[in-house]
Amino acid sequence: MLRTPIAGILFDKDGTLLDFDESWAPVNRKLALLAAGGDQPLADRMLLACGMDPVTGHVEADSLFASGNTRDISQGLIAAGSAIPMNVLMPLLDDLFADSAALSVPVTDLAALFKRLHGAGYKLGIASSDNQKAIWHIVERFGLTAYVDYVAGYDSGHGVKPEAGMVLGFCKATGLVPSQVAVVGDNNHDMHMGKAAGAGLRIAVLSGTGSRRTLEATSDHCLNDITELERLLA
């Protein structure tokens, strides 16, 4: 049974709205090769260092690729051997991430889901460790613009996950208080962000990098994916 009336839902993007491995494996391979200057063996070592199996494309829970922002991933690539300076690598990756919207694979019909939730009176937002431009590309591509009240990336001025700022920014934008907000995400950064902000509900989904083992301890509910969300909220 829900502990508090929920009036707003703040979604993570990758692994929550989008199928993580299907959407990000080709992007991660491309960015690693870029960071490695075209050296494929080095690129494979960078993928492993950041949490992705270069053969299967699977990303480990709570790794840099699973929950890190552009700065975190850039630092990981440089530590793994990239010769590109941080101030050059970060904007290259941000541009690559923004362009990756065309490769994204949704978990479900996002426009239909958001339309139903919006019609039911929920305020809706997206909070991601990706950059804000990349998030808006996803919003536009999947027809969510009319339903989304708030977008926050690592570069939006609200801080980064697992800090509370993105949730508090959602509350400020919508007039809600944290206890009225459900945070929905696929990894512990999302759940810890919700806890730090005092969110009314922390809902984990298994469509991304987390597992039931890694998420049950930090979430109030653990769903297979967001297609089960409406039933829970009802």
Q: What is the pLDDT of residues 99-108, one digit of tens each?
A: 888 889 999 9
Q: What is the pLDDT of residues 11-27, one digit of tens each?
A: 999 999 999 888 889 99
Instruction: Tell me whether residue 3 is in a domain.
Output: no
Print burial letters for 129-149: b (CB count within 10 Å at least 16), e (below 16). Answer: bbbbbbbbbbbeebebeebbb
Pair 104, 138: CB distance under 8 Å: yes
Are residue 13 and residue 27 in the same domain, yes or no? no
pLDDT at 99: 86
pLDDT at 2: 45
pTM higher than 0.75 for the full model? yes
pLDDT at 4: 62
pLDDT at 117: 98
pLDDT at 158: 97
Query: Which residues of the chain are under the pLDDT cut of 70?
Result: 1-4
Which tokens sit at 36? Answer: 């490695």
- The parent domain of residue 61 ranges over 21-103
pLDDT at 136: 96
Of 165, 170, 164, 137, nearest to 151 (Cα)?
Answer: 170
End position of a domain, from candidates 82, 103, 124: 103
Distances (CA, A) of 163 to 8, 29, 166, 174: 19, 29, 8, 19
End position of a domain, from candidates 103, 124, 154: 103
Are residue 40 and residue 143 in the same domain, yes or no? no
The domain total for the chain is 2
pLDDT at 103: 83
Q: How many CB atoms lie within 10 A of CB 121?
A: 8
Are residue 179 and residue 133 in the same domain, yes or no? yes
pLDDT at 3: 56
Are residue 92 and residue 205 in the same domain, yes or no? no
Which tokens sit at 181? Answer: 């907000």
Are residue 112 and residue 210 in the same domain, yes or no? yes
Instruction: Tell me whether residue 1 is in a domain.
Output: no
Are residue 95 and residue 136 in the same domain, yes or no? no
pLDDT at 78: 97
pLDDT at 139: 97
